Amino acid sequence: MRLVILDSSDKVAEWAAKYVLKRINDFNPGPDKYFVLGLPTGGTPLGMYKKLIEFHKKGLISFKYVKTFNMDEYVGLPRDHPESYHYYMWNNLFKHIDIDPQNVHILNGNAKNLEVECELFEENIKKSGGVELFVGGIGPDGHIAFNEPGSSLVSRTRVKTLAQDTLEANARFFDNDVSKVPKQALTVGVGTVMDAREVMVLITGAHKSFALYKAIEEGVNHMWTVSAFQQHPRTIMICDEDATLELRVKTVKYFKALYAVHKKLIVGEGSQQNEP
Ligand code: GLP
């Protein structure tokens, strides 16, 4: 597992966006070869999306041959509700880039049959050739997507009832009123994300530091579902200084010493353009 420790959440956003840019451009997608990208919502990835839009406007990246699959969506929230993940994705990314709307996949939390909706989503991922890079965020309780503590680590896309911690963490988007947060969501499973060829998790803020400690320094545990990615051959976690508060000094020193190695992951051969 790689852990990239950066000074601030802004640096995390920039680093993550540069990584996505490089991965897509190196893949060289085309009409017969789409890049399949898994995407999260939440406050953490907002800066990365802003940067990707900026790179797109500068002509550094095109999403024409990119297919996206989002991690999750609330059940029963109208698609045009400002807190729906549909609304979030269109406003914070898709409407600003050249992606074909047909290539965007977001679970429909208002589908008549939610189980069928989840099965189709899994089938669509398979039909697209699998996810090349799944970008994720985590909750303070270490959940990835909406895989709450206790979720099976081989779970697939399904309906999930949200934990109290998650309802409270997300109340800030619903007038700070926990009762307004939808109680259920559709979410990809831990197994769905594990199937991706690479997983990148963004973790910022002191309130996520215990979860990062559980993810990195303790064993795989279904009560901290992000810890499952210790067993993924290509996991990269990007965090800020605040999120390292619960890590051992030895761990932080080790990963910080790898900065020169990590820097190479976002700098193109002979190109200064991507220099962090
Ligand atoms: C929600 C989402 C997760 C997201 C998490 C963290 O629970 N389902 O996918 O990672 O929130 O959000 P934030 O980045 O706002 O802390």
The model's pLDDT over 214-235, given as tens digits with 9 standing for 90+, comes to: 999 999 999 999 999 999 999 9
Q: Which pLDDT does position 274 carry in this prediction?
A: 46
169 falls in which pLDDT band (50, 70, 90)? Answer: confident
pLDDT at residue 275 greater than cutoff 60: no
Mean pLDDT (the chain) is 95
152 falls in which pLDDT band (50, 70, 90)? Answer: very high
Which among 148, 195, 240, 241 is annotated as catalytic?
Answer: 148
Say whether 56 is catalytic.
no
Partners of 68 in the beta sheet? Answer: 37, 104
Average pLDDT over residues 113-142: 97
Tokens for 259, please give them.
């900065």
CA distance 203 to 138: 7
Instruction: Give the ligand 1 atom nearest the CA of 45.
Output: 14
Average pLDDT over residues 43-56: 98
DSSP-derived pairing of the beta strands 133-137 and 184-187: unpaired
Place of tokens 């790179």: 55
C-alpha torsion sign, points 58, 64, 67, 71:
positive
Residue 166: CB within 6 Å of ligand 1?
yes
Average pLDDT over residues 39-54: 97
pLDDT at residue 272 greater than cutoff 60: no
Residue 207: CB within 6 Å of ligand 1?
no
Average pLDDT over residues 239-244: 98
Say whether 148 is catalytic.
yes
Question: What is the Å distance from ligand 1's center to 42 Cα?
Answer: 4
Average pLDDT over residues 109-125: 98
Q: Which pLDDT does position 165 carry in this prediction?
A: 87
CB 225 within 8 A of CB 149: yes
pTM for the structure as a whole: 0.95
pLDDT at residue 37 greater than cutoff 80: yes
Average pLDDT over residues 234-238: 98
Torsion of CA 252, 253, 254, 260, to 10 degrees: 110
CB 14 within 8 A of CB 47: yes
Among 209, 141, 201, 139, residue whose Cα is nearest residue 170? 139
Residue whose Cα lies nearest atom 2 of ligand 1: it is: 145
Question: What is the Å distance from ligand 1's center to 41 Cα?
Answer: 6
CA 66 to chain centre: 16
